[in-house]
Structure 1
Amino acid sequence: MQFCDECGSMMHTEADTWVCRSCESEKPRDPQAEATMVTQDGQQDDGAPAVADATQDSTETMQEPCPADDCDSDRAYYEMIPKPGGSYEVRLFTCIECGHKWRES
C-alpha cells in the first residue's frame, strides 16, 4: 500500500506508476520497496480483542448506584482500562446485584 506524499490519500497502480485518486499526483513504482510490503495473506489474525469484564478476578467494589431501572443496589465492581489512543482511562462498572454493566460518563 502506498500513500500520497501530497495529500495522504491511498494510491493505486497504473502500469509502472502509483497514482493518487484524490489529487492525481504520480510517483514511479519501486519494485524493491514493493517487495517488502506485507500483503493481507502474510498478516496474522489474532482474533477479536478481549472484552473487559469488571467482575473477573475483582473483589473490589465501590459505592456506585446501579442505573438499571429495576435495581436498587448501590455497590458495583469496577475496573479501570485505558481508553483507545491512551489519552485517559475509563472506569467500567458491573452491579454486584443484577450484573448490569456500564461505564463512567
Structure 2
Amino acid sequence: MEFCDECGSMMKTEDGTWVCGSCGYEKARDSGSESAMVTTQGQEESEIVDTSEVDAEDMGPTTTAQCPQCDNDQAFWEMKQIRSADESETRFLTCTECEHKWREDDH
C-alpha cells in the first residue's frame, strides 16, 4: 500500500505509476520497496473452529444477551478484530441454550 506524498490519501496503481485518487499526484513504482509490502494475496482465511464438542465451562465468559432464535437471555461471548485496526472489535455471541450464533457490531 502506498500513500500520497502530497495529501496522504491511499494511492492506486495504473501501469507503472502510483496515482492518488484524491489530488492526482503521481510517482513511479519501485519494485524493490513494493516487494517488502504486505498484501492479502495468497493469505489463507482463518479456519473455522468447531465448538460442538466443547463443554460449557470451557466455552468462556457469559453475558446477558437476548438470543434472536430462542429468547434465552444468556450467551457466551468473544471479541475479534475482523475489520481494519482503526475500527472497533466485533462481539460474537453463542446462545447457552440452543447454541445459535450471532454477532454485534457497533454501527
TM-score, with structure 1 as normaliser:
0.53
Q: Is the 8 A contact 1:77 1:94 kept in 2?
A: yes
Task: Report the structure number with the largest CA radius of gyration.
Answer: 1
Identical-pair percentage: 33
Unaligned runs of 5+ in 1: none
| AA partner of residue 47 (structure 1) | E
Query: How big is the alpha-carbon RMSD for the aligned residues of Structure 1 and Structure 2?
Result: 4.1
Unaligned runs of 5+ in 2: none
Q: What residue is the counterpart of 1:81 in the other structure?
A: 80
Q: What residue is the counterpart of 1:47 in the other structure?
A: 44
Secondary structure of the corresponding residue to residue 31 of structure 2:
helix
Q: Is the 8 A contact 1:66 1:76 kept in 2?
A: yes
Deviations 1:31-58 (A, max 9, x none): xx435643xxxx9834112457888752
Q: Distance in 2 between matches of 1:26 and 1:86?
A: 27
Q: Distance in 2 between matches of 1:89 and 1:26?
A: 35
Q: Distance in 2 between matches of 1:54 and 1:78?
A: 13
Of 31, 34, 40, the residue aligned with 2:31 is 34
